[in-house]
Each structure stands twice: as structure tokens, then as C-alpha cells.
């Protein structure tokens, strides 16, 4: 009986950690998307009326016509590590009309990232773009 109670308590603690991690990742993603939107709004080449849906965040930076590999290398030189290419999402890249050879820049966020890291990434992107 004590062992079963211990397992239930352990499961509750684990679920709590998962929920806290998911909430943090959601906040980080919102900060990242908001920052990308701000970068785009401040660029007169990309005037847009109306809101940009988060689901279309792929278009926020893509319209700048910089090669994703060049952006990824510039971020790497700042100690910010991202991916470029189709990231094994070839069908998605094709369906979005993005050149599959160049692909996109992928910024991966996880529960161990911090708001300061997201801000640093946005500052670097604002300079690079």
C-alpha cells in the first residue's frame, strides 16, 4: 500500500513538472513570435495590414530573401545555435512554397531555455536581418 501511494505521489509530481515545462515553453514561444513580429513591423519592406497568425510565423522572416544557411551561420557566430534546411519536414516546406534546397531557419525552444536567451536571439536576428 505504501509503495502504491508513493507511485501515485511521484506521478503527480511528474505531471506537475510537465505542466510547468509546457507553460514555460508556451511563454517562450509567444515571446519569440511577438519579437519576430516586432522585427517585421519595424521593417518598411514588409508592411502588412492586419495581424499575422502564429501558424504562419514561417513567413515572418522568410520574406527577407536571405538564405537560411547564412542566417544560421550568423547566429552561430553569436553563440546561438539553430538549424537551417527543410529539417525533415520536406512535405511541409513544399506545401508552404518554400524552396526545399534552402529551407528555413528553425529555432528550437524547450523547457530549459530562458526568456533571456529568447531576447538575445531576437536581438541578434534584428541585427542580422
For residue range 49-95, list pLDDT tens digits in order.
444 444 444 455 555 568 899 999 999 999 999 999 988 888 988 88
- 84 within 8 A of 66, measured Cβ to Cβ: no
Contacts 24+ apart (CB under 8 A), 113-116: 113/28, 115/27, 115/28, 115/31
Residue of 32 and 111 predicted with greater confidence? 32
Domains within the chain, CATH numbers bracketed = 2-128 (3.90.1150.10)
Angle at 62 between CA 58 and CA 66, to 5 degrees: 150
Which residues lie closer than 8 Å to 100 by C-beta, 6 or more apart? 86, 90, 93, 94
Amino acid at each position: 500500500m505504501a509503495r502504491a501511494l508513493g507511485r501515485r505521489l511521484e506521478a503527480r509530481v511528474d505531471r506537475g513538472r510537465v505542466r510547468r515545462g509546457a507553460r514555460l515553453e508556451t511563454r517562450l514561444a509567444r515571446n519569440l513570435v511577438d519579437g519576430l513580429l516586432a522585427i517585421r513591423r519595424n521593417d518598411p519592406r514588409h508592411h502588412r495590414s492586419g495581424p499575422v497568425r502564429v501558424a504562419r510565423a514561417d513567413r515572418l522572416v522568410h520574406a527577407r530573401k536571405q538564405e537560411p544557411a547564412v542566417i544560421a551561420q550568423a547566429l552561430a557566430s553569436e553563440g546561438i545555435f539553430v538549424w537551417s534546411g527543410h529539417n525533415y519536414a520536406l512535405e511541409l516546406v513544399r506545401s508552404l512554397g518554400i524552396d526545399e534546397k534552402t529551407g528555413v531557419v528553425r529555432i528550437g525552444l524547450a523547457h530549459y531555455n530562458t526568456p533571456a536567451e529568447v531576447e538575445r536571439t531576437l536581438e541578434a536576428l534584428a541585427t542580422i536581418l
